[in-house]
Structure 1
Amino acid sequence: MGMESSARSGILVVSFVLLAFLNISPAAAGGEGEKVLTLDRSNFTETVSKHDFIVVEFYAPWCGHCKALAPEYEKAASTLSNHEPPIVLAKVDANEEANRELATEFEIQGFPTIKILRNGGKNIQEYNGPREADGIVDYLKKQVGPASAEIKSQEDANSLIDEKKIFVVGVFPKFSGEEFENFMTLAEKLRSDYDIAHTLDAKFLPRGEPVDKPTLRLLKPFDEQFVDFQDFKVDAMEKFIEEASTPVVTVWDNDQSNHPYVNKFFGSSNAKAMLFVNFSKEQDSFETKYKDVAILYKGKGISFLFGDVDAGQGAFQYFGLQEEQAPLLIIQNAEGQKYLKANIEPSQIASWVKDYVDGLVKPFIRSEPIPEVNNEPVKVVVTDSLQDMVLNSGKNVLLEFYAPWCGHCKKLAPILDEVAISFENDSDVVIAKLDATVNDIPSETFDVQGYPTLYFRSSSGNLLPYDGERTKEDIIEFIRKNRDGHADLVSTESESVNADSVKDEL
């Protein structure tokens, strides 16, 4: 199975919608002679074990976002090499076959992914900082300092607290005791996600009343502006911060300061309600009614996003929608099913969301048109033809789920063509492909977590994932072994292809 990018619904939205259309481009690998260390399976463990703090980017050479910020990553590495102590930036080509185990170990589901490794690799955190050189430098300098800074004055608070960002602060009568120790444990755990500080006096903080007992205060640039919490169990504090740092309605527009919350929205495991309107014409007429609905369902497993049609072009492309359908409300549930209401009116929002919750709205299933001509060796399958051509075809079908931009898919394409030609005289065997970026996949039947993913369905209905080598010989042997039927008409000429030459191409 390919691991180029996750195809699960939430992660795909982040990868294709956020990265491609918010211009959030993580750092990239560079060429020879750079300050960025090159790591691979042979030197990764030894190198990481020597560093208390090292930043590692997992990338792919074909990845556009990886290429885009290569100079920024290199510039940051050069600057940080002069830090005291030096901060090391490294890279791993996770597209390389030899490094696949590393990619699996670090749960790399898309490119690029950046990890912060501490204590010789014993502690691993996500890099959630900026993507330009100066921002990378500033973020990582904070990461090597204390997990929580002390606020001793209003001036300290002014210098540390960014009014456009979430800020976590612990207020204590003294810097000792169980509550303070738990807070510092939490700070270390969440330091890559939030700016964190502690203080002896809440009067230094820009918002909130004085307190007379240990209090965790979350300052935020939306909704109620601040919220206090006084259960200092680590898990309870972490859950509180996660929930309280999510806006009732996440706004997706061209304001860069909103983009971290959009990222957080798409990374949530909740069902996702997304209302897209033309902000220049319709924002005011929709915003209040939509927020009222979001408040009604807060804490009930649905997150709400309010997006400008202009800023949300990526979402329209991802869901296969047209701008003419806006104002448009679409809900994607935790299983990836989609429900939509095109040209919705403000007065219809509450009733339509209630109908969705009550199970009265039919899912929207995205499919390309069934092709009128389908005479290539590898047959084209779309969602609307999946039943007839694969699941109910009565044939032995090898089906590839692919993405047009996927490098591994492009390498596999000529091999599948050869396999299909090998079975051209056998009407019981079909080799087919489905573009998973524009066709919805029934997740209850197929588990597609990367591209390419191959499944084989025998004529009797036995469904198997293909996990073998991506060579013509191995695929043919798999089909022979698992097919049903009497005929086995694979051409002998096709079997004479040198296996090593095919593997070299992969």
Structure 2
Amino acid sequence: MRCGGVALLLLAAVALTTLCERRDVLELGDADFDYLAAEHETMLVMFYAPWCGHCKKLSPDFAKAASWLKGSVQLAKVDCTANADTCRGFGASAYPLLKVFRNGVDSGTYDGPRTAEGMVHYMKKQTGPDSVLLRTEEDLQAFINNYDASIVGFFQPDSAGLPEYLKAAALLREQFRFAHSSDPSLGQPYSLQQQGVLLFRPPRLSSRFEEDSVLYKDHVTVASLRRFIRDNLYGLCPHLTLENKDRLRVRDLLTVYYDLDYRLNPTGSKYWRNRVLKVVSRYSSRGLSFAVANKNDFLSELEEDFGLGMSEGAELPLVTIQTRLGHKYTMREEFTRDGSSLERFLDDYFSGLLKRYIKSQSIPENNNSPVKVVVAESFEDVVNQPDKDVLLQFFSPRCPHCKKLSPVYIELAQQLYLDPNIIIAEMDATANDVPLGYDVQGFPTIYFAPAGKKDQPIRYEGTRELKDFVKFLKRESRRPLVLNGVREEL
């Protein structure tokens, strides 16, 4: 067969796969939403508009998740431009809006990850009872032998703790897996004496460095059980993913990135994690948390935020530390199989000998223009001068609003060029780390860093006209402005 024929067959296969995925997503509207939704025990619905860019971006993952969840959870979508009554009834005014339905009844807004794998993971927890009833040892083993952690309550039939446990399961089922048994003897092999709750860590994360299960010994309340799960769920060295990264990064975190894949490469995944555990288990009480991650899930972050380029075929792990204050460190020494390089890196970190990694452009050799250029490496010297007021614009070179502002901002800088007490500056926030205390979510974002109060920058919220900038600076500065060489009166 010629190459053209092979290409056509491949295109046909891709088209057929896409068509099958689309068929797995129900198209609902005003005429049939109520009665079709009621036919499904659990359903995830996307309210969308065909012109919405975010909707278009989500659609392939939504279709893929529908294919993977087929037979357990139904996925559906509603075109809000053609079915206004249904969308209005469920409060769909911004797109895409994802909602979970149970037997046709709105069960709340979906707030899980918007990736195919994340939606599958989240929605699987929406099916079945809040807590699975386990009757035998086989039931228990089948439940805890899972990719995720398991929480199992063992209670006597008349225990007062069971209703509170079930209440916690109902509230927390979207985050964790729950089961219960009225036969406490099932928990005896795991140090359970009479009754109580056991947290079983995933078998894939089993190691000789920590116990596979943790016993909850306190009186069962929703708040205390939630706290127990939060403190013990991840263990000494959890698997960092795109779905749990926000929960794990609330602490100072060291992460080891490599070709981790417990489904396709369990042996290699365990090998490197055990090398890491051997080292970090000796540092577990020093205020730093640890994790392993698939480097392919975080490629752009490693390259853009930590300056770690990916050489083709590289097998050795990469190591970073990111603190709650936003400080970043990278291990530049090659990862050694005996863990000695990781040990040296940790010793230097705790001794305060590591140099922080800062994403920064080069400091300009000549910086005499009215608008001063600030980069991450020069931020301290320029913006944090204690006796200078600084108006700082965070911009993106590709931002049309920034380009529109540019002539106004330059004119402002020119008028204040002879003022010895104020600096008008700008920083490319796409090429430099944004310092702590400055919240930059869009462009342009403008802050005023007053003299003597550099830890209290003031966000500029006014219109972007020259007169409004001048009015703002007159109000916030404690010294009179020098405009076009003339000192203003306070």
TM-score w.r.t. structure 1 length? Answer: 0.62
Q: In structure 2, how many angstroms separate the alpha carbons of the residues matched to 1:489 and 1:273?
A: 52
**Structure 1 vs Structure 2: percent identity of aligned residues?**
28
Query: CA offset at residue 368 of structure 1?
Result: 1.7
Q: In structure 2, how many angstroms separate the alpha carbons of the residues matched to 1:157 and 1:91?
A: 44
Q: In structure 2, how many angstroms separate the alpha carbons of the residues matched to 1:475 and 1:59?
A: 40
The aligned residue for residue 131 of structure 2 is 148
- Which residue, 255, 269, 282 being the options, matches 1:296? 282
**Residues 422 and 126 of structure 1: CA distance in aligned 2, closer, same or farther (over 3 Å):** same
**Residues 448 and 243 of structure 1: CA distance in aligned 2, closer, same or farther (over 3 Å):** same
The aligned residue for residue 226 of structure 2 is 238
Query: CA offset at residue 273 of structure 1?
Result: 0.9
**Counterpart mapping for 1:424-463 below 5 A:** 425-426=414-415, 427=417, 428=419, 431-443=424-436, 446-448=437-439, 450-452=441-443, 453-457=445-449, 463=457
My pick for the range that moved more, 156-165 or 345-354, is: 156-165
| 1:131 equivalenced with 2:116 (yes/no) | yes
- Which residue, 314, 323, 333 being the options, matches 1:333? 323
Amino acid paired to 2:363? I
The aligned residue for residue 340 of structure 2 is 347
| 1:315 equivalenced with 2:304 (yes/no) | no
Query: CA offset at residue 192 of structure 1?
Result: 0.8
**Counterpart mapping for 1:409-488 below 5 A:** 410-423=399-412, 425-426=414-415, 427=417, 428=419, 431-443=424-436, 446-448=437-439, 450-452=441-443, 453-457=445-449, 463-469=457-463, 474-483=468-477, 484-488=479-483
**Counterpart mapping for 1:356-371 below 5 A:** 356-371=349-364
Query: CA offset at residue 342 of structure 1?
Result: 0.9
Deviations 1:60-96 (A, max 9, x none): 999987643225547989999x999x9997899xxxx
Query: CA offset at residue 159 of structure 1?
Result: 6.9
| 1:166 equivalenced with 2:149 (yes/no) | yes
Amino acid paired to 2:410? I
Query: CA offset at residue 419 of structure 1?
Result: 1.9
Question: Would the aligned equivalents of 1:329 and 1:341 in 2 still touch at CA under 8 Å?
Answer: yes
Amino acid paired to 1:349? L
Question: Would the aligned equivalents of 2:112 and 2:119 in 1 still touch at CA under 8 Å?
Answer: no
The aligned residue for residue 391 of structure 1 is 384
**CA RMSD between the two structures:** 5.2
**Residues 437 and 198 of structure 1: CA distance in aligned 2, closer, same or farther (over 3 Å):** farther
**Residues 329 and 449 of structure 1: CA distance in aligned 2, closer, same or farther (over 3 Å):** same
In structure 2, the residue corresponding to 1:192 is in which secondary structure?
coil
Question: Would the aligned equivalents of 1:36 and 1:88 in 2 still touch at CA under 8 Å?
Answer: no
**Residues 145 and 341 of structure 1: CA distance in aligned 2, closer, same or farther (over 3 Å):** closer
Q: Which runs of 5+ in 2 are unaligned?
A: 1-25, 31-41, 81-94, 486-490
Q: Which runs of 5+ in 1 are unaligned?
A: 1-32, 38-52, 93-110, 253-258, 491-506
Question: Would the aligned equivalents of 1:201 and 1:210 in 2 still touch at CA under 8 Å?
Answer: no
The aligned residue for residue 393 of structure 2 is 400
Deviations 1:451-474 (A, max 9, x none): 343211357877422133456664
Q: In structure 2, how many angstroms separate the alpha carbons of the residues matched to 1:142 and 1:283?
A: 26
In structure 2, the residue corresponding to 1:249 is in which secondary structure?
coil
**Residues 139 and 124 of structure 1: CA distance in aligned 2, closer, same or farther (over 3 Å):** closer
My pick for the range that moved more, 425-434 or 185-194, is: 425-434
Q: In structure 2, how many angstroms separate the alpha carbons of the residues matched to 1:79 and 1:305?
A: 28
Q: In structure 2, how many angstroms separate the alpha carbons of the residues matched to 1:75 and 1:349?
A: 39
**Counterpart mapping for 1:100-119 below 5 A:** none
Alignment coverage as a number of residue pairs? 409
